[in-house]
Structure 1
Amino acid sequence: MLRNLKLTGLTLALTALCTGTVYAHSLWVNINESFAHPPGHVITSLGWGHAMPLDDFLMSEAGAIEIEKYSLVGPDNSITPIPVPVIKQEKTTESKTGMSIVPGDLGLRKISLTDKTIPGTYQVTAESKATYFTGYVDANGKHKMTTKPMDEIKGAKSFDFSTRYKAVGKSYFGVKKWTQPKPLGYELEIMSETDMSNVKAGDLVKFTVTLNGKPLTCDMKGMNYLHMTSNTFGGPDQYMLTAYVMDGKAQIRVPTPGAWRASVTVKKEVTKDNDLKALVKKCRSIYYGASVSFTAKPK
């Protein structure tokens, strides 16, 4: 049951990515700071889906993702693992009004400060497992979909598509002061160039975007964009803010207070002649996804 549920969700997400729509699920990190009782604490959770701050469970019929790493990164770039969410089939309770109540784990964790906490900027990051999506025609001429690379599918007559997808989400919080966060070496990475602990509506937020350590840009091989979305902007029309990524830089002015997500998605073709040639028997393309989430204050 769990395998079928996961496959259905991944098929929906993949279809959205391949058709270029904005409906593909995104991964992000939510942070809520509480300093009412010193020394204070931070609540972190994982967002998955569309609408911030919370939309869906990591495993559902509408989309699914497995978290490989969940981490707290200190101002000194030290990494402390956070227990990853437990993905399992939970018992559903049926309500008396025709609704289902489903429990689940969204990575809700409490990070408590102490008098020994190092001042500076902390990053909370989540990294999904790399997952393959392959559509193929089997020996009987039927079109099928699986979460396996091409070289693990036996008896396929032909392939409709095959891609690999991996997502990274991060968010920041500052303790006593803001220090410039350091890159963490992700394949696709968005790094803030703005003090994210003090963003207000109307402020310009700036980011550096790298792919495999090199500045991402717009060129003849493709146009790359940074998107920003929020429940406080766009409304039922579901539009978003967009900026070109040029020479690794992108910036967008925040129009409204509230929770925001900045994200970048990049597709690369796999060929026997490019730097992805090691995957040529496994898939035909790769999708990278990255996000940075933050909260903008009123003016």
Structure 2
Amino acid sequence: MERKEPPGASSLPDFAATPCREESLDRRQTHITFLLLGGLASLAFCGFVCVFGYYGEVVTAGIDKACAESAFQSGKRYEALGNLEGAVRQYRLALVGRFGDESHEHVCRLSLGDALVRLNRYEDAVEAYDQVPEMAFDRSGTFTGYVTALARSGEPEKAEFLGERWLGRARAEGDKQQVVWASSILGQLCEGGGRLVEAAAYYNEASTLNPSCEAGVRLAKLLRLQGRKQDALVHLDRFLTDAPVGPLREDAIRMREEIAAVLNAPDNASSQP
């Protein structure tokens, strides 16, 4: 028997084919796609976290190393050009990073201290040197700035202790210039402490190697105080032979004239040594 559609059935809408149905399907597909993309993004982020956890420190260390070395080399260039303030800034910047080789960090700290000494910023220099491990002072020249800064910042005991190590290292290396510098500073430390005999011995060692250094004039002054005026004249004459023009030479000439005047006075000529 033939089925008949109810009246008006042919005019009912087909919901499967209506625009509302199509929009609902599109929204569902969009939502699913969004969830899939979100899931993939989460997986990617988790992967990044895992990888960075393993290798991130290595990557950042490489960046720090490059920055530290670059800043250190910039500091050296500034120092070579005479821009000590710029050098100090670059050395400090380098020390904020991490050096690949620990010995490079030690050299950087020594360079920072040396630059600060040349700027007469002795307390800051001591602070920089104090952070350098003992093993890094492996040559006599590495003590030069440190002992100088200690002596001029009011730490004579530590300066003398390290000064003796400096002098011993310089003697062992056969570095005459370092011997002159070390013995001169040790002489000044002893003189400041009232130990004039020890001071004279250090000054004599320095002036023997370099007669025109300041130690020769300082030795002459000590000999004069001890009444050894003829010996003082000998050292002043040695100093004046090659001493450059300047205030120290003028002091030596003045002292020599004063001593000679006393020795040549008629009433003192026969009694003075």
Q: Give the structure with higher Rg (CA).
A: 2
Relative to total residues, which structure has the larger helix share, 1 or 2? 2
Determine if the TM-score, normalized by the shorter chain, exceeds 0.5: no
Q: TM-score, normalised by structure 1?
A: 0.20
Q: What TM-score do you get using the length of structure 2 for normalisation?
A: 0.22
